[in-house]
Amino acid sequence: MRLLCRQMGVCHRVSITAWLVVWCFLCMVLGCSSAHEDEGKKQEPILRAPAPEAPIPNGHTIPNKEPDIRIRLDRIRNRGERVIIGTDEQRLRVTDRHQESLLGAFSGPLEVYLASDGWRLKESSGRGRVTLPTEEIIVRAATQDTGDSSLLGVQTSTNQPVRKYPGLLRLVPRGDEPSGSWDLINEVPLESYLPGVLAGELYSGWHPATYDAQAIAARSYAVNEILSRLGRSHFDVESSVRSQVYLGATNNQEAIKSVERTQGQVLGYEDRLVPGYYSSCCGGHPALASEAIGPNPINELEPLNGHGPPAYCDEATVFHWTRKTNRHLIEDRLRSFGKQTANELLAKLGQLQSIDTKTVNPFGRALSMEIKDTQGRSIVISATQLRRALMRGDAVGGRASLQLLSENIRLFVDGNVVNIDGWGFGHGVGLCQFGAQAMANSGNKANAIVTFYYPGATVVSAYSTPESLTHSTDQNTEEAQAPNQAQSPSAQEP
């Protein structure tokens, strides 16, 4: 999320309040949480036919060596849209997708776009230029070093900052004529990826133990994504809050040191990998992965079934929040949502009488809500659907969206006013970032923190990588604005 925030160039060092406004705006636009499930229904071509859905009975086996991860940095939507790769005078090599044939050598910065007859690559100096067939290509630094000189500068549009990335870049045409869209993917060893995640997910200055707990959770989440999408997608994670935020190379020393301290450590449960879902603040009402992330056998692993008290996050500003809004606005949005989802009863909603919590999970988190009107209609929808419906500002003449930080809400209709009580920020599964920070401040180490948030899990040293290097640079200097959430595999579309 923070990366998106930065990519949009709207916030560098903003206050929590400003950040929340942006978060909510983005949620409105992108649809956080299960809104992403709709994403997969859009008419998007896929590059390869997915393998048959193989049920994964009890989670993945923990790998014994460091995997590479493929992060989608951006989706270039229009033919002719340019991306700049490489920094001044940096030597770049362009190869086929298997790195077997050298297709060109250039001096950076290199301008790349997809034309109707193929890739156009042009040195910004105007010297070298080439046209290549519309097939996946790789761009990487020519150097054999793994230090700063191998980092690739990337600028996806003129109003975006240049960001630097370790590893290589895959440029993958999506094959959807005539738009000519393509995906920009960074492929990098997992341990080189993680510092850029921690730098994006946690405030600088947070406790080292919080960083370590977050590193273990983020690594576990990433490995699960890699294994779940193997052979089924051309990337594993997004670089945004849709998966987990990734800033590329970072100068956040705590992030770098934390990844080194926890190298190869993942969450295990009975020899299986536990996907380390996490969110900003559980609000004292944790969610179960099977409820909040999705119906996947992996999400039924015992450590993903929520954690008991205490709510260490109770001092966070997002622990409990309130909103006040107009009854007509709520009615408009519910009717609009009813039309969109072919819920005829909801589409015909009359004057709103009440919205009551119908069911809650074992921790008191709202699961379903009953909407009643004065004409006797009664409609039950999930709490997630209700949140999505109420945040549909764009559907009713662009009126400002309601800033609902989670689906864990209670509503009270009082004449023409609707009061909303809300708890937490994000999906509420697994590690609670504000809670983890409070635990760390009370002297708890990473192991105690993660075993509290993933009950029954143990920290497993999956691999060690003496040759693995993490990167430090003074280029990507932005820091996290607020903790965040790791989404489900189903949150992405290939």
The binding site for Zn ion (CB under 5 A) comprises 282, 313, 432, 435
Contact 102, 126 (CB under 8 A): no
CA distance 254 to 263: 14
Sign of the CA dihedral running 92, 94, 99, 102: negative
- Minimum separation from the CB atom of position 25 to Zn ion (A): 24
Bridge partner residues of 352 (DSSP): 373
- Minimum separation from the CB atom of position 245 to Zn ion (A): 19
Terminal Cα distance for the chain, rounded: 19
Angle, alpha carbons 45-173-2 (nearest 5°)? 85
Residue 433 is given by DSSP the state H
Contact 219, 258 (CB under 8 A): no
Closest to Zn ion by CB, 349 or 457: 457
Radius of gyration of the chain (CA): 23
- Minimum separation from the CB atom of position 434 to Zn ion (A): 6
How many helices (DSSP H) and strands (DSSP E) are in the chain? 12, 24
Residue 439 is given by DSSP the state H
Contact 442, 338 (CB under 8 A): no
Here the tokens at position 187 are 């492929």
- Minimum separation from the CB atom of position 313 to Zn ion (A): 3
Closest to Zn ion by CB, 265 or 279: 279
Closest to Zn ion by CB, 166 or 306: 306
- Minimum separation from the CB atom of position 427 to Zn ion (A): 12
SS3 411: strand
- Minimum separation from the CB atom of position 267 to Zn ion (A): 18
Contact 355, 409 (CB under 8 A): no
Closest to Zn ion by CB, 122 or 427: 427
- Minimum separation from the CB atom of position 432 to Zn ion (A): 3
Closest to Zn ion by CB, 269 or 452: 452
> What are φ and ψ of residue 411, in 5° steps?
-120, 145
Closest to Zn ion by CB, 85 or 313: 313
Closest to Zn ion by CB, 165 or 319: 319
CA distance 149 to 142: 9
User: Among 153, 129, 132, 150, which Cα is nearest to 141's?
Assistant: 150
- Minimum separation from the CB atom of position 148 to Zn ion (A): 38
CA distance 227 to 62: 10
Closest to Zn ion by CB, 235 or 423: 423
Closest to Zn ion by CB, 86 or 435: 435
Angle, alpha carbons 446-450-451 (nearest 5°)? 115
- Minimum separation from the CB atom of position 454 to Zn ion (A): 13
- Minimum separation from the CB atom of position 443 to Zn ion (A): 18
Closest to Zn ion by CB, 34 or 406: 406
- Minimum separation from the CB atom of position 205 to Zn ion (A): 20
Contact 227, 492 (CB under 8 A): no
The alpha carbon of 133 is separated from its chain's Cα centroid by a whole number of angstroms, namely 32
Closest to Zn ion by CB, 84 or 450: 450
Task: Give, in order, the Cα–Cα distances in Å from 86 to each of 112, 156, 180, 381.
Answer: 11, 12, 23, 49
User: Among 198, 278, 221, which Cα is nearest to 2's?
Assistant: 198
